[in-house]
Amino acid sequence: MMMEKVLVAKNINKYFMEPARFQVLKDISFDVNKGEFLSIVGKSGCGKSTLLYLLSTMDTDYEGKIEMKGTLLTGKTQNELAAFRNKNLGFVFQFHYLLPEFTALQNVMLPGLRLGEYSAKEVEERAYEKLSLLDMQDFALKKSSKLSGGQQQRVAIARALINDPAIIMGDEPTGNLDNTNSGIVFDIFKDLAASMGQTIIAVTHDADFAKRSDRIIEMSDGKIVSGV
């Protein structure tokens, strides 16, 4: 059976110029299939976050090509990329960045409101649904800056899910969670991949989490050493 490729990365090189010129990513190429649950592992500082930022289109300063859902994203304008992210990408940062002055519910709703495919009322219902999935419904109306680290991370995951994106990327999405909640998040991802055909790409230090996913890509010193 022919697998549909949802993400193609070709010959990615990335340099940091400060403090000295330094190559973080070295000729990285790999594909991800639709509905796949992929883990990226590797030592701290090997370039996992850097790679994920490139894939998420939030960093456009690189060499090589990135294609998603059959569209070449390399070279697109900021506005086009923002529109693409809004519809097709959900991202969970390593340090769960939420808007501090907004409630958990508002944080989850904003990308949905921006997309404008549902009415405000429906977006709110959907946001409650996503928050409930992560057992955060009781904190919906709390300011996000008043939540604990793990709670913020779960709100960030709910926000990544709000527009039913084709690809969900997480930079250690369970890094701040206890075993129970880690398990819940893993099950959610697994279910989204299996039943909804959404693709999951997660950077993780959790060996158990990685082992239970569909595929593991291992990085070392800016290169992929296994899993392509």
Partner 1 sequence: MWFNRINLQIARTHLFAKKKQTAIASLGVTFGIAMFVLMISVMTGVNKLLEETQLTSTPHVRIYRDIGHERPSLLSAFNPGERNWNLVHHQKPKDEPLNLRNGLLIARSLEANPNVLGVSPQVSSQVFFNYGPAQLSGMLVGVDMEKEDRLYSVRSKVKSGSLEALMASNDGILMGKGLADKMQVKAGDKVTVTTPKGEVVLLRVIGTFQMGIGAIDNLRCYTSLQTVQKILQENTRYITDIHVKLNDLSLATPLAKEWQDRFAYRAEDWETANATILVSFTIRNIMTGVVVMTLLVVAGFGIYNIMNMTVYDKMKDIAILKATGFQGKDIVGIFISQSAFIGLIGALLGLIIGYVLSWLVSQAPFDGGEFLSIDKFPVNMDPKFYVFGLVFGILTTLLAGYFPSRKASKIDPVAILRG
Ligand X SMILES: Nc1ncnc2c1ncn2[C@@H]1O[C@H](COP(=O)(O)OP(=O)(O)OP(=O)(O)O)[C@@H](O)[C@H]1O
**Among the candidate windows 18-26, 93-101, 111-119, 133-141, which touches Mg ion by CB under 5 A?**
93-101
In the β-sheet with 199-203, what is the strand arrangement from edge to edge? Answer: 89-92, 167-171, 199-203, 37-42, 215-220, 223-226
Beta strand 5-16 pairing with 223-226: unpaired
User: Minimum Å distance from CB 112 to partner 1?
Assistant: 10
59 binds, among Mg ion, partner 1, ligand X, none (CB under 5 to 8 A by kind): partner 1
Question: How far is it, in rounded angstroms, from Cα 208 to Cα 171?
Answer: 16
Among 39, 49, 106, 176, binds ligand X (CB under 6 A): 49
Question: Of all residues in this chain, which one has the CB nearest to Mg ion in the complex?
Answer: 49
Phi-psi region of 35 (alpha: psi -120 to 50; beta: other; left: phi over 0): left
Among 45, 75, 116, 197, binds ligand X (CB under 6 A): 45
Question: How far is it, in rounded angstroms, from Cα 111 to Cα 117?
Answer: 11
Please identify, using beta-carbon distances, which residue of 33 and 94 lies nearer to ligand X: 94
Among 110, 118, 215, 218, binds partner 1 (CB under 8 A): 110
195 binds, among partner 1, Mg ion, ligand X, none (CB under 5 to 8 A by kind): none
Q: Is 44 in the site for ligand X (CB under 6 A)?
A: yes
Judge contact between 150 and 185, C-beta under 8 A: no
- H helix or E strand, kind and range, residue 70: none
Q: Is 83 in the site for partner 1 (CB under 8 A)?
A: yes
Judge contact between 220 and 46, C-beta under 8 A: yes
Cα 37 to chain centroid distance, Å, stands at 12
- H helix or E strand, kind and range, residue 186: helix 179-196
83 binds, among ligand X, Mg ion, partner 1, none (CB under 5 to 8 A by kind): partner 1
216 binds, among ligand X, partner 1, Mg ion, none (CB under 5 to 8 A by kind): none
Question: How far is it, in rounded angstroms, from Cα 164 to Cα 226?
Answer: 30
Q: Which amino acid is at 58?
A: M
Please identify, using beta-carbon distances, which residue of 106 and 182 lies nearer to partner 1: 106
- Give the residues lining the site for partner 1 (CB under 8 A): 53, 56, 58-61, 78-79, 82-83, 85-87, 89, 91, 93, 97-102, 106, 110-111, 113-115, 120, 159, 163
- Give the residues lining the site for Mg ion (CB under 5 A): 49, 94
- Give the residues lining the site for ligand X (CB under 6 A): 16, 18, 24, 44-50, 94
